């Protein structure tokens, strides 16, 4: 698919359909873009085509750089002469520089993923307007590869005060069955699922806890890999005479491996504490209830977006039925 593609229909024709104009207004409030403006719509299409096939390699490359840098630096450091030569020091420093480089690759991947998700959300919103116009009798030649489905139109949104609800609370509040189900869960979890501000606070806290836990557990795993690699290098040396000599390369590597193991256990413990705090604060139960409401609403035929990974819970709505 080329980056530039012509618009299937002029925006002025979309704006003439009341239902489409109202949907465009809601999208404008959510994302701050006017999709019935031809210039904006063209930019959305072009941007999506440019970024849709990018990324997907940053985690692997970043991990290889971090782990490889630690292991290579340990190997080179263990074989350094005494006193070390300038070339040996330069190689160890170069290997150590791979660690911050890997972190930079991770950061770049995160930023690229955020841009990609935003472009997909805008593009999905535009295709939803086209499908809505087609449902109301307008002939719209939508390319087959554009059919993303309306479930992805809203999803994760935020403003200057934090995250917004996945869908407006009126979406499920107007449905009698879903409303009764939401009221029952709200009473049980001590939260008003019809209060947009309460949902905003819940989602913000859920994402904050999730982000901290994932970061700490991922860091713990990387530290564990580095510890295992360092331990393997230290044991592969001729340790019999060297271990008896304090300050030897094998002794230093064993101490470094022990330190990395301790740091790995510490960060894993902090991740577990984060998850425990989320459970004790009631955020976890409230988030599970919110997901259950959205899933039940989807089963009742209401338009519900695809949930972001940080809202996906281990417990599903079947537990609550």
Condensed to tens digits (0 to 9), the pLDDT of residues 62-107 reads 878 877 887 777 777 666 666 667 777 777 778 778 878 888 887 8
Q: Which residue has the higher pLDDT, 154 or 6?
A: 6
Q: Which residue has the higher pLDDT, 56 or 36?
A: 36
d(CA 68, CA 79): 17
Q: 224 to each of 74, 78, 102, 127, 155, how far by Cα in Å?
A: 15, 20, 17, 45, 35
d(CA 165, CA 102): 35
Count other Cβ atoms within 10 Å, centred on residue 256.
19
pLDDT at 159: 45
Residue 166: CB partners within 8 Å, gap ≥ 6? 154, 155, 156, 203, 290, 294, 304, 305, 307, 311
pLDDT at 133: 86
- DSSP 8-state assignment for residue 85: P
Residue 134: pLDDT over 70:
yes
Exposed / middle / buried, residue 216 (Cβ in 10 Å: 0-12, 13-18, 19+): buried
Name the most confidently modeled range: 101-105, 186-190, 253-257: 186-190
Condensed to tens digits (0 to 9), the pLDDT of residues 139-180 reads 888 776 665 444 344 444 544 444 556 677 887 888 899 999
DSSP one-letter string for 225-280: HHHHHHHHHHHHS-HHHHTTSTT-HHHHHHHHHHHHHHHHHHHHHHHHHHHHHHHH
CA angle 216, 278, 152 (to 5 degrees): 85
pLDDT at 169: 82
Asked if 134 and 105 count as a contact pair (C-beta separation under 8 A), the reply is no
pLDDT at 131: 80
d(CA 229, CA 226): 5
Q: Which residue has the higher pLDDT, 11 or 63?
A: 11
Delimit the domains of the chain by residue range. Answer: 1-153, 162-321
d(CA 248, CA 200): 56
Residue 21: pLDDT over 80:
yes
Residue with tokens 């998700």: 117
* Mean pLDDT over each residue of the chain, to the nearest integer: 77
Condensed to tens digits (0 to 9), the pLDDT of residues 191-246 reads 999 988 888 888 888 888 888 888 888 888 878 877 777 777 666 654 444 444 55
Instruction: Report, as an integer, the average pLDDT of 24-41.
Output: 84
pLDDT at 80: 67
Reading phi first (left if > 0) and then psi (alpha if -120 to 50, else beta), residue 192 is in beta
Q: Which two tokens stand for residue 184?
A: 């029952």
Q: pTM of the entire structure?
A: 0.54
Q: Which residue has the higher pLDDT, 18 or 135?
A: 18
* Chain centre distance of CA 230: 31
Name the most confidently modeled range: 112-116, 204-208, 266-270: 266-270
Phi, psi of 193 (to 5 degrees): -75, 0
pLDDT at 149: 44
pLDDT at 227: 79
Exposed / middle / buried, residue 105 (Cβ in 10 Å: 0-12, 13-18, 19+): buried
pLDDT at 236: 63
pLDDT at 150: 43
pLDDT at 183: 93
pLDDT at 188: 92
pLDDT at 160: 43
Instruction: Report, as an integer, the average pLDDT of 303-307.
Output: 70
The number of helices, as runs of H, and strands, as runs of E, in the chain is 11, 2
Question: Where do the DSSP E strands lie in 169-239?
Answer: none
d(CA 47, CA 52): 8
């Amino acid at each position: 698919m080329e980056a530039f593609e012509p618009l299937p229909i002029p925006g002025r024709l979309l704006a003439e359909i009341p239902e489409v104009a109202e949907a465009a207004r809601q999208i404008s409030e959510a994302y701050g873009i006017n999709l019935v403006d031809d210039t904006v719509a063209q930019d959305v299409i072009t941007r999506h085509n440019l970024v849709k096939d990018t990324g997907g390699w940053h985690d692997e490359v970043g991990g290889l750089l971090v782990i490889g840098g630690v292991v290579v630096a340990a190997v080179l450091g263990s074989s350094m002469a005494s006193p070390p030569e300038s070339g040996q020091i330069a190689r160890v420093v170069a290997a150590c520089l791979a660690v911050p480089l890997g972190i930079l690759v991770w950061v770049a991947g995160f930023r690229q993923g955020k841009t990609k998700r935003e472009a997909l959300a805008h593009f999905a919103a535009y295709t939803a307007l086209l499908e809505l116009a087609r449902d109301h009798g307008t002939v719209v030649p939508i390319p087959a590869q554009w059919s993303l489905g309306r479930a992805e139109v809203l999803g994760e949104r935020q403003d200057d005060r934090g995250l917004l609800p996945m869908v407006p609370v009126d979406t499920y509040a107007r449905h009698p069955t879903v409303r009764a189900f939401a009221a029952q869960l709200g009473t049980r979890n001590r939260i008003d699922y019809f209060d947009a501000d309460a949902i905003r606070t819940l989602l913000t806290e859920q994402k904050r806890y999730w982000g901290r836990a994932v970061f700490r557990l991922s860091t713990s795993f990387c530290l564990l890999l580095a510890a295992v690699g360092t331990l393997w290098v230290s044991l592969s040396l001729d340790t019999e005479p060297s271990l008896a000599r304090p300050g030897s390369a094998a002794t230093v590597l064993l101490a470094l491996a022990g330190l990395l193991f301790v740091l790995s256990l510490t960060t894993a413990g902090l991740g577990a504490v984060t998850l425990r705090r989320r459970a004790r604060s009631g955020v976890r139960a409230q988030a599970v209830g919110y997901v259950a409401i959205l899933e039940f609403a989807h089963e009742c035929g209401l338009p519900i977006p695809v949930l972001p990974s940080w809202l996906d819970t281990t417990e599903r709505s079947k537990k609550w039925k």
